[in-house]
Amino acid sequence: MRHFLPLSRVTRLVGISRHALQELIRSDALDTFDGMVELNELMRAFPDAKWEDDAEFRRITEIKEKAFGKRVFERALPDKEVLAARLFELGNEYAATRALLMHYSNVLSWLDEKIDEIEEDQSAETRHALHTVRAFIVRHLAEIPPDAAKVQAVIAQERILKIMSAHVTIKPSGHEFFVESNDTLLEAALRAGVSLNYGCSNGNCGECRARLISGEVKKVHAHDYVLSQAEKDTGVFLMCSCAAVNDVVIEANVAGALDIQMQQLAAKVKSVEVFNPQVAALHLLAPRSQRLRFLAGQSVRLSAHGTSGQYAIASCPCEERHIEIQVLRKSDDAFSELLFSGLKANDSIEVEGPYGEFVLEDASARPVIFVAFGVGFAPIKSLIQHAMSLDLAEAMDLHWLADGAGHYQNNLCRAWADALDNFTYVPHAHSDDVETTLAKIVSDYPDLHRFDVYASGTASQLQIARDLFLKHGLPEQHWLASSY
């Protein structure tokens, strides 16, 4: 019996990124069939994978051991009805496999009897041939294949993954993500950086409607929004109320920058992180009932104590209620002065937004060059974190051209470079001769036409950079920039 595994699960089983896997497929180092990998092919292509090193089993054991952590345990496991449904499905699969084995066993018994019958009237030569066939079958049935333990370990790992998470594919965009623990489909999508349409996130507005194409979803939170019978009959459900029971394909709208409505909310100051006398980060917490809907790279207007200003968001939309803003201290910017001198934890800040269209082209799988000038690092940071959670870009290079405030999050950028194979960080020291620095950067990319470039800085810095990149072969439509 051949056992096939979807690519998304293969990445988790062998612990490599989707891009690395696609690279193997492209170079014919791994054979696939209809987007699936056959088990023996998987073991051939990854002979060194530690299938028995069952991280998921260990994770469950650890969770159990922290059992003070009844709450931790509950959060890490799927909703109990979803868990019961997944176990039921696994039981069905087990029963079907057992029934098939019984059938094979009956066929073999029948074959054995048939050989007995035929043998009686045959010549010595034919009897010998039949005897050889029977001996061959008996010997091979009794033999345990040398890699049986490995096969069993891979299948067991895959089964655990299936119990702990469900895979979701969105049509027509093709986005994919996993639903883990007791997340709803909406929570899991946002955590994965997929910007699905939604409004209230608690079952009132109906904005998160989606249609189930295949698989099964289960309502895990009650909702006040009423779906019509016609909607229910065609598989429409609310993503903020449902979890995925098994791997599902759904039809849903992924929002672009222009699809997101302007919002106003009162956030609380969580902390102020002063990097140096010129730049500080403001960490805000949106209300539980109204998180800010935005795309990485967008900005917001903040108001407090009679001051206000518009700043790029430095955090990823996947960070739930947390919003980070990085602000450059300027004497003519009263809000920035307030941030450095007067704001405290729990102060209330009016947030309005999101603004701007400097967002990730997530339909593009081209390698990406990020160019950040000074505090232009803020939207670039948001974009990088978003790109990481989507795992789409083939490679990402960050060039950070410091101004007087320096590379105030140098350690973070180095940590990204250490953690990701496809991420490179190149800090560039402060220089008045931006053009020479940029010319050096550009000269390292003889194949610029393959790249997307995202840049953030002052208007004049961006103009110089744009001219140079385009002159060296970057297609105009691959240049995306935002000035501050």
Cα distances from 478 to residues 299, 384, 450, 481, in angstroms, run 21, 16, 9, 10
Query: Between 8 and 290, whose beta carbon lies closer to ligand FES?
Result: 290
Cα-to-chain-centroid distance, residue 363: 14
- Decide if 12 contacts 387 (C-beta within 8 A): no
d(C-alpha 290, C-alpha 59), whole Å: 32
- End-to-end CA distance of the chain, in Å? 60
Amino acid 306 reads G
* Residue 301 Cβ vs ligand FES, minimum distance, rounded to whole Å: 24
Phi and psi at residue 70, in whole multiples of 5°? -55, -40
Cα-to-chain-centroid distance, residue 48: 25
Binders in 225-284 for ligand FES, by CB under 6 A: 225, 238, 240
* Residue 159 Cβ vs ligand FES, minimum distance, rounded to whole Å: 32
Binders in 85-104 for ligand FES, by CB under 6 A: none
* Residue 235 Cβ vs ligand FES, minimum distance, rounded to whole Å: 16
User: Which residues pair with residue 353 across a beta bridge?
Assistant: 263
Query: Between 240 and 448, whose beta carbon lies closer to ligand FES?
Result: 240
Is 340 among the residues that bind ligand FES (CB under 6 A)?
Answer: no
Cβ-based neighbour number of residue 327 at 10 Å? 25
Q: What is the largest CA-CA distance in the chain?
A: 107
Query: Between 119 and 251, whose beta carbon lies closer to ligand FES?
Result: 251
Query: Between 76 and 185, whose beta carbon lies closer to ligand FES?
Result: 185
* Residue 197 Cβ vs ligand FES, minimum distance, rounded to whole Å: 8
* Residue 238 Cβ vs ligand FES, minimum distance, rounded to whole Å: 5
* Residue 192 Cβ vs ligand FES, minimum distance, rounded to whole Å: 17
Binders in 180-209 for ligand FES, by CB under 6 A: 198-201, 203-208
Give the 3-state secondary structure percentages of the chain, helix then strand then coil, rounded to 5: 40, 25, 35
Residues 226, 229, 235, 237: what is their CA dihedral angle, to the nearest 10 degrees? 0
Site size toward ligand FES, by CB under 6 A? 13
Query: Between 3 and 221, whose beta carbon lies closer to ligand FES?
Result: 221
Query: Between 198 and 335, whose beta carbon lies closer to ligand FES?
Result: 198
d(C-alpha 262, C-alpha 188), whole Å: 23
Query: Between 240 and 378, whose beta carbon lies closer to ligand FES?
Result: 240
* Residue 220 Cβ vs ligand FES, minimum distance, rounded to whole Å: 13
Contacts with ligand FES by CB under 6 A lie at 198-201, 203-208, 225, 238, 240
